Structure 1
Amino acid sequence: MRRLIGALLIALVTTSVGVAVAAPPAAAALPDAHAFVLWGGAATVPSGTWPPATTVAAGPSGVYTIRFPGQAAKGGVVHVTAINTGPRFCQAVKWGPSGSDEIVVVLCSQPGGVLAPTAFSAFFESSSGPAGPINGEFGYVHYNEASGALLDQYNSAGALNTVTPTPAVGVYEVKLPGLSTAGPIDGSLQVTAVNSTPARCKVRDWTSNPGGQLAHVACFTSTGVPFKTSFTLTYQYNQSLWGAGWPPRYFGYLWFRPPVGPPPTNFNSQLGFNVNTLSGAGLGLSLVQFPSIGVLPDNVQVSSYGAGTEFCNLLYPWTHVGTTLVARDVACYNTGGARANAGFLISANSNN
C-alpha cells in the first residue's frame, strides 16, 4: 500500500519541492505568497477560498491535488484540517511551484490508515526576508525527517529556528528564538504531518518567554503508534496565520487545553484578548465563536493538543452569523475513532 500510494502521488505531481537556505534573502515582503481553500467534498467553496480560481482535483480516494494560481513561491508551509462528521485526519504530502502556480498534494485518512474522501480546509504560506514593523510575532518550520534538517523556516525576529528529535520516538523539540512574549504561554500554534503514508502530528506542549517559543511536536501512525515523520509548524502571536500585517485586519485564535487557556492564547484582532468563546465542551465537541472577524473569504485551521494520541477535526465548515465566525463544532477522537474530550488549537483568518 505504501508503494502504491507513493507511485500514485508521484504521478499526480511532478514538481519538486524547493529547499530554502538557512539564511533568508535580504529584501522580501511578508508573506511572499499565501493561499487557502475550503474543499466541500465535490467543489471548492468560494467563501473559504483564495485566490478565487483555486482548483482541487480529487483522486485516487483520499488524495487531492490543489492548484493555487499565481502563488508560486520557494519553500513555505502547508496546513490542512479535515472536515467530516466522522473521524478523519488530513496531512500534507508535498508542495512546490509549477510555473506561476503553487501545487499542493493532500492526503486524508480514517483511523486505521484507510484513505478516505472528506471535505477539508488547507492553506499555504511562504515568507522570506526581514519582516519590518509588524504587530506581533510570527514564525514557521518545515522539518524533513529523512535529512534531519529544515527544508524551510521563517522567523519574524530574524533568528534561526531549530528542530531537534528527542530520545522519544516521533517527538521533536521546536525552538523559535527571538519571538519574544511575556509567557508562560502566549499565541497559537498549528502543526501538520508531512508524509506520503497516513500520519498525524499534534502539539504536545509549549512554553513562551522573552527568549522565544519552545514547543514539542508528537507524531503518530494512523493507529496511534509513535512515528518519525516530517511536519510543518506555524506560530502566531497578534499576527495572522500567514504572517501578514494589517491587512488582514480580521483574525483570531483560541487554545482549549481543556479548559480554555489563558487570555494571551485567546486573541481577536478586533476586540483584543479573551473575547472568543467556547461552549459545549465535553464528549469531544466544542463550539467556538470569533466575534467581529467573520469577513469573507476566510480560513479555519485546527490542531490537536496534549500528551495523548488524540486528533481533532471540524464537523462542518465554519459559518457566519453577522460578523461572528462560528466553528460548529471542533470534534476530537481517540485513536480508535471514538469521541474524546481532548485539547486543541484553532485559528481563524480572513484575507481582508
Structure 2
Amino acid sequence: MRVRTWLRLLAAGLSVGVLAATVVSVGGPAGAAVPDRFGFVLWNGAVVGSGTTPAGSTVSVVGTGQYKITFAGAAASGGVVHVTAINSAPHWCQVNSFGPSGVDEVVMISCYRVGGAPDFTNFSAIFSSSSGPASAVGSFGYVHSTPTGALVSQYNSAGWANTVIHTGPGQWDVKFPGLSTPGPIDGSLQATAVSSPTVPARCKVLTWSSSSSGQVAQVRCFNAAGALADTRFTLTYQYQRSLYGGFAPPKYFGYLWNKPVGGPPSTNFNSILGPGANTLSPGTLSLVTFPALAMLPDDIQVTAYGPGSDFCGLNFPWTHAGSDTFVRDVNCFTNAGAPSASGFLVSDNSAL
C-alpha cells in the first residue's frame, strides 16, 4: 500500500514538475528550470559513456593525480562540483577550480593517496549550476564557500539566502533556510574540498538537522595529516530531488544515509519506489542497492559522515543488473589508511 500510494504521489509530482518547467522556461535563461546546466563524468582510465553526460565530455591527465574535465557545452556561472575517488586502495579527490571556458565547463581536480602524495585514480565527478525557480516538489540547495564563510556561489530552491558561519579551524555551520522538511533529519548531503593541488584537503558532514525552518549542516574539513584545516568547499543538500537539482527529468534518482547502520526512511529515498526502498549491507565495504534506478547515463557520489577524519569513496565503479543499480562497494578509511566502518552519504543520479 505504501509503494502504491507513493507512486500516485510521484505521478502527481511529475505533472507539477513538468508544468513548472514549462512555465519558468518562457522567460529565457534567467528563468530557466533547475538546473541551468549540469554534467557528470565517470573516469576509469578512459571516459565511460554510461556514466557521463553531456556526450562529448572529456578528461585529460595533466599531471600525477591531476585531471582536467571538460563538460561539453555545459558552461554556466557559479554552481558547485563534487568528486569521488574510485579505488580499492585508500584515495581521495578534491576540486582545484571550475568555471566556463567558451561554451564548455572546465573542472580541474587532484587526487591523493594516504599521506597526501598526488596519485592516479579512477573517479566520478558532477557539476551543476542553478539560478531559476524550482518546482514545488522536494528541496534543493548548495553553497560554494570560502574558508571565512563568504559565498562564492549559492542556490536555494525556496528563494532564501543560504549562510555559512566559520566556527573554528576546518569547521562550519551551513544554513539552508526555507528548505522545509518534517524533521528531525531528512534528505541527503554531499561535501567536497576546493583547494590548490599543492594543498591536499578533504571534507565531510559531521551532522545535520531538519525542520520546518530549513536545514542546518555541520561541515568538517581536514588536511593530509588528518587535522582540521580551513579550505574552500562545496556542499549540496537534496530532499526528494536529484543531486543536481532537477526533477522530472530526472525521474531516476535516489540517496541513502549510512548512520551507521542505516538511517531513517526520510534519509533513504528512491524516486521510483519511494522512501526506504534502497538497501544497505554495512561494513568496511558497504554494498548499496538502488532498485529500479538503472537508467543510463548515471552518476554516484559519496561523502563521509560523522566525527573524525575518516574518508570514503568507491571500491569499484557501480554496476547494473536489470533495473537495479549496485554500488559494490562504498569503502571508507582512517587517515592512516586502515579500513573503517565509517558513516557515509551516497547519492545516485540519472540524466533521464
The answer, yes or no, to whether TM exceeds 0.5 is yes
Question: Does 2:204 correspond to 1:202?
Answer: yes
Determine if contact 1:110/1:222 at 8 Å carries over to the other structure.
no
Output aligned runs, 1:152-171, within 5 Å. 152-166=153-167, 168-171=168-171
For 2:327 and 2:67, how far apart are their aligned partners in 1? 23
1:126: which partner in 2? Answer: 129
For 1:233 and 1:241, how far apart are their aligned partners in 2? 11
Please list the CA deviations of residues 62-118 of structure 1 after superposition, one character each: whole Å capped at 9, or x if unmatched: 000000110000010000000001000001110010100000001100111100000
1:17: which partner in 2? Answer: none
Please list the CA deviations of residues 255-292 of structure 1 after superposition, one character each: whole Å capped at 9, or x if unmatched: 0010101000000000001010001x22x110000000
Q: Which amino acid aligns with 1:150?
A: L
1:16: which partner in 2? Answer: none
Match of 2:113 among 106, 110, 113: 110
Please list the CA deviations of residues 156-196 of structure 1 after superposition, one character each: whole Å capped at 9, or x if unmatched: 00000000000x31010000000000100000000000001
Count of matched residue pairs: 322
Q: TM-score w.r.t. structure 1 length?
A: 0.90
Question: Does 2:30 correspond to 1:29?
Answer: no
Please list every run of 5 or more consecutive structure 1 residues that lacks an aligned counterpart in the other structure: 1-24
Match of 1:141 among 140, 143, 148: 143
Please list every run of 5 or more consecutive structure 2 residues that lacks an aligned counterpart in the other structure: 1-28
1:9: which partner in 2? Answer: none
> Whose helix proportion is higher, 1 or 2?
2
Q: TM-score w.r.t. structure 2 length?
A: 0.90
Q: Which amino acid aligns with 1:305?
A: Y
Question: Does 2:40 correspond to 1:39?
Answer: no
Output aligned runs, 1:331-350, within 5 Å. 331-350=331-350
Please list the CA deviations of residues 295-347 of structure 1 after superposition, one character each: whole Å capped at 9, or x if unmatched: 10000000000011100000000000111000000000000000011000000
For 1:141 and 1:134, how far apart are their aligned partners in 2? 21
Q: Aligned residues: percent identity?
A: 57
Determine if contact 2:36/2:132 at 8 Å carries over to the other structure.
no
For 2:170 and 2:127, how far apart are their aligned partners in 1? 24
Q: Which amino acid aligns with 1:118?
A: T
1:27 Cα deviation (Å)?
2.4
Q: Which amino acid aligns with 2:310?
A: E
Q: Which amino acid aligns with 1:88?
A: H
For 1:322 and 1:47, how far apart are their aligned partners in 2? 15
1:26 Cα deviation (Å)?
5.7
Please list the CA deviations of residues 6-32 of structure 1 after superposition, one character each: whole Å capped at 9, or x if unmatched: xxxxxxxxxxxxxxxxxxx96233110
Q: Which amino acid aligns with 2:202?
A: R
1:245 Cα deviation (Å)?
1.4
3-state SS in 1 of match to 2:106:
strand
Q: Which amino acid aligns with 2:141?
A: G
3-state SS in 1 of match to 2:142:
strand
Determine if contact 2:35/2:132 at 8 Å carries over to the other structure.
no
1:238: which partner in 2? Answer: 240
Q: Which amino acid aligns with 1:218?
A: R
For 1:223 and 1:110, how far apart are their aligned partners in 2? 12
CA RMSD in angstroms comes to: 1.0
For 1:130 and 1:54, how far apart are their aligned partners in 2? 27
Output aligned runs, 1:177-256, within 5 Å. 177-196=177-196, 197-256=199-258
3-state SS in 2 of match to 1:226:
coil
Match of 1:86 among 73, 81, 89: 89
1:223 Cα deviation (Å)?
1.4
Determine if contact 1:85/1:315 at 8 Å carries over to the other structure.
yes
Determine if contact 1:26/1:130 at 8 Å carries over to the other structure.
no
2:310: which partner in 1? Answer: 310
1:19: which partner in 2? Answer: none
For 2:186 and 2:336, how far apart are their aligned partners in 1? 32
2:21: which partner in 1? Answer: none
Q: Which amino acid aligns with 1:107?
A: S
Question: Does 2:259 correspond to 1:257?
Answer: yes
Following TM superposition, the consecutive aligned residue runs of length 4 or more in structure 1 with deviations greater than 3 angstroms are: none
For 2:136 and 2:53, how far apart are their aligned partners in 1? 23
3-state SS in 2 of match to 1:59:
strand
Determine if contact 2:149/2:172 at 8 Å carries over to the other structure.
no
For 1:110 and 1:177, how far apart are their aligned partners in 2? 37
